[in-house]
């Protein structure tokens, strides 16, 4: 992987290609498009055509049409297909490395800050096709003129709500205890008394203390802690053919409500074994 992010000459300097990253927020999922950072387009917009090419580490390349509107430049036609094919969801982080001529290499990290598996399938190297006649030079000129300051609009950086900063801080948090990072999604906040935790938390849980219920889940009572206050909840472990999953429920909604959690907030769960299982929760708030 590291070799992909260096120049072809292994003896040469580290890769100086420009990069930017995007945290996937709810509006990007709902609208089916992703805004390129304005500062990036100001610097490199003259090099962009109206068709971008996104390449992931398994070598598969995707065509995504660029569109200029609402004071910015967006990945648009073809973006939804790219995102859905790789399970891109709220809280995911994407790193874009720009190789000039509208060519981007893309790394995708899930809500636990872990790089995804780029599964190869029968469609490997089959591109998402947008007919060439949809491409025209006028859209290229719009992008160029706009970011040369020749248009009537002005570029305003779009706030990401602090999610990116939260993830950076969360990933920098260190402890001798196991840590599990979760970005709050709408389904974790809006009335549903449950949230998914990273699967590998199961490896750190005790083997005893579990019960079973009618769903055939294994249930373990635990406590969520902030400072000196505790919230009783239950962990539900589900064993399926595709692997295990872990859900916190039965008290989760009260924890969300009483700590005013919102979509985009980042929680780091620190596993502490003390008179049962305690998850010490460190919350990094998403600022408007």
With beta carbons less than 8 A apart as the criterion, state whether 77 and 128 touch.
no
Which tokens belong to 130?
């947008």
Predicted confidence (pLDDT) per residue in 238-256, tens digit: 877 666 788 899 999 999 9
Which range has the worst mean pLDDT, 150-159, 162-171, 179-188?
150-159
CA dihedral 271, 274, 275, 280 (to 10 degrees): -40
Predicted confidence (pLDDT) per residue in 53-110, tens digit: 999 988 888 999 998 887 889 999 889 888 877 888 888 899 999 998 899 999 998 8
Whole-Å CA distances, 218 to 200, 241, 249: 15, 15, 13
Which tokens belong to 16?
């100086």
Query: What is the rounded distance in angstroms from the CA atom of residue 3 to the CA atom of residue 15?
Result: 10
- 277 forms beta bridges with 222, 273
| Global pTM value | 0.47
Residue 246: the pLDDT is 86
Average pLDDT value for the chain: 75
H helix or E strand, kind and range, residue 31? helix 26-31
Nearest to 80 by CA among 131, 143, 134, 128: 128
Nearest to 105 by CA among 44, 58, 66, 43: 58
DSSP code at position 3: G
Degrees (nearest 5) of the Cα angle 31, 181, 119? 60
Predicted confidence (pLDDT) per residue in 245-284, tens digit: 888 999 999 999 999 998 888 888 999 876 688 999 988 8
Nearest to 186 by CA among 283, 288, 79, 91: 91
Query: What is the rounded distance in angstroms from the CA atom of residue 269 to the CA atom of residue 261?
Result: 14
Confidence of residue 49 (pLDDT cuts 50, 70, 90): confident
Which range has the worst mean pLDDT, 79-83, 129-133, 182-186?
129-133
């Amino acid at each position: 992987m590291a070799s992909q992010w260096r120049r072809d000459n292994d003896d040469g300097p580290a890769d100086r290609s420009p990069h930017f990253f995007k945290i996937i927020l709810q509006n990007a999922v709902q609208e089916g498009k992703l805004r390129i950072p304005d500062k990036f387009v100001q610097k490199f917009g003259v090099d962009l055509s109206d068709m971008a090419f996104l390449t992931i580490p398994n070598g598969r390349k995707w065509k995504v049409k660029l569109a200029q509107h609402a004071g910015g430049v967006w990945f648009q036609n073809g973006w939804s297909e790219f995102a859905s094919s790789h399970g891109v969801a709220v809280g995911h982080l994407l790193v874009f490395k720009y190789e000039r001529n509208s060519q981007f290499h893309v790394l995708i990290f899930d809500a636990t800050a872990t790089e995804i598996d780029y599964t190869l399938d029968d469609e490997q190297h089959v591109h998402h096709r947008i007919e060439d006649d949809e491409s025209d030079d006028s859209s290229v000129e719009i992008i160029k003129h706009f970011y040369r300051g020749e248009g009537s609009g002005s570029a305003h950086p779009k706030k990401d709500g602090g999610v990116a900063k939260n993830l950076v801080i969360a990933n920098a948090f260190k402890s001798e205890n196991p840590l599990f990072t979760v970005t709050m999604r709408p389904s974790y906040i809006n009335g549903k008394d449950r949230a998914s935790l990273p699967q590998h938390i199961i490896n750190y849980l005790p083997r005893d203390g579990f019960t079973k219920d009618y769903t055939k889940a294994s249930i373990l009572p635990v406590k969520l802690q902030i400072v000196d206050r505790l919230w009783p909840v239950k962990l539900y472990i589900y064993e399926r053919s595709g692997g295990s999953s872990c859900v916190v429920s039965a008290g989760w909604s009260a924890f969300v409500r009483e700590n005013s959690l919102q979509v985009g907030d980042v929680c780091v769960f620190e596993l502490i074994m003390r008179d049962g299982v305690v998850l010490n929760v460190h919350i990094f708030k998403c600022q408007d």
